[in-house]
Amino acid sequence: MPRTLLLAEPRGFCAGVVRAIDALDRLLSQVDEPVYVFHEIVHNRYVVDGFKSRGAVFIDDISEAPDGAFVVFSAHGVDPAIIKNAEQRELKVIDATCPLVTKVHLEARKAAKDGYKILLVGHDGHDEVQGTKGEAPDKTSVVDSAQDVLAISDPEAPVFVVTQTTLSVEDTLGTIEAIKDRFPDAEIRNDICYATTNRQQAVKEMAERADLVIVVGSTNSSNSVRLVEVAKSMGVRAQLVDGLNDIDPAWYADAETVGLTAGASVPDELLDPIIEDLKMRGVINIEPVVVAEETVEFRLPLELSENME
Ligand code: SF4
């Protein structure tokens, strides 16, 4: 049975998620009319359900928001075509796109303007990848592996590489190596963000000592799923859960040391019941596994005050 609990640091909320949640929270508190949110504000069921209960209306098609309505764009960013549609329909937009995702959009936009063929390393269909690809859909190919790199046809233009922000650091290195082999002159930006990198490093160190790693996060959260993969790649059992209710106590049977972490969209309060439960099951040592101190903060979207006027 578990005796020691390792807590990854950092874990849970990153600066981009804090900003997106604060923006939506503030808007809901300040306006009396309906607030629409284009895509999940962050990929966490608990957070999204909390906002739904306060009246936020989540939509996956921008046409579902009536002309002139308040619309919040999620932390994952949006296709520029959506921004144009919102302008034409005079939607009051609060853009909660993480500034680190916006940076990738700007890189892709400039590369397309400069005549490059863009390789976007990421998971096709993820909200963030759809948004970035929208900067130059005709010039962008999404690649997710070394095999994908081999499969693309020879581009007629020089190659520029950007990445999704929440990828596996190690898997991405493999894909980037394949790109370098095939296109030695490619210009490469690795955009995996500080929060993704730190959380993966922390889970790696934790997995060296743990018999079981529990990652709190939703199944559609890319960075949470990556944390499970990183732990498994270290040869450790790992489980992704939305909270205490998803945990099967049988997992603890032969786990003397349990590691606990959370994806970047997960509030720490979801971990508290798991920690209390482990204490009741016999955990007597709780140790942090610290790999970095995060001090990044982002200012709230400017439109928040402008749209209030
Ligand atoms: Fe921004 Fe990284 Fe957080 Fe995504 S995971 S919201 S890119 S800081």
pLDDT of res. 304: 87
Instruction: Report the residue among 11, 14, 102 best suited for mutation to probe ligand 1: largest number of ligand atoms under 8 A from its CB.
Output: 14
Told to judge if 306 belongs to the known catalytic residues of this protein, a careful annotator would answer: no
Contact 163, 135 (CB under 8 A): no
Residue 197 has phi, psi (to 5 degrees) of: -60, -50
Sign of CA dihedral 19, 24, 30, 36: positive
pLDDT of res. 307: 57
- Cβ atoms < 10 Å from Cβ of 90: 10
Among the listed residues 64, 76, 59, the one whose alpha carbon sits nearest the alpha carbon of residue 133: 76
Q: Encode the chain (309 residues) as per-residue pLDDT tens digits.
A: 899 999 999 999 999 999 999 999 999 999 999 999 999 999 999 999 999 999 999 999 999 999 999 999 999 999 999 999 999 999 999 999 999 999 999 999 999 999 999 999 999 999 999 999 999 999 999 999 999 999 998 888 999 999 999 999 999 999 999 999 999 999 999 999 999 999 999 999 999 999 999 999 999 999 999 999 999 999 999 999 999 999 999 999 999 999 999 999 999 999 999 999 999 999 999 999 999 999 999 999 998 866 565
**Is there an atom of ligand 1 within 6 Å of 24 CB?**
no
Sign of CA dihedral 109, 110, 112, 116: negative
Structure tokens given for 278: 């482990």
* First CA to last CA distance, the chain: 58
Tell me how far apart the alpha carbons of residues 37 and 61 are, in angstroms, rounded to a whole number.
Answer: 10
- Cα distances from 142 to residues 25, 74, 136, in angstroms, run 33, 21, 12
Q: In sequence order, which ranges of the chain are alpha helices (DSSP H)? A: 15-30, 45-53, 80-88, 99-113, 127-133, 146-151, 169-182, 194-207, 222-233, 272-280, 303-308
- Cα distances from 33 to residues 37, 68, 90, 92, 250, in angstroms, run 13, 11, 15, 12, 48
Q: What is the pTM of this model?
A: 0.95
- Cα distances from 36 to residues 54, 60, 207, 278, in angstroms, run 12, 10, 40, 39
Sorted by sequence, the CB contacts under 8 Å of residue 88 that are 6+ apart come out as: none
**Is there an atom of ligand 1 within 6 Å of 75 CB?**
yes
Q: Which of 9, 40, 128, 135 is catalytic?
A: 128
**Is there an atom of ligand 1 within 6 Å of 15 CB?**
yes
Angle subtended at Cα 103 by Cα 109 and Cα 130, rounded to the nearest 5 degrees? 65
Instruction: Report the residue among 21, 22, 100 best suited for mutation to probe ligand 1: largest number of ligand atoms under 8 A from its CB.
Output: 100
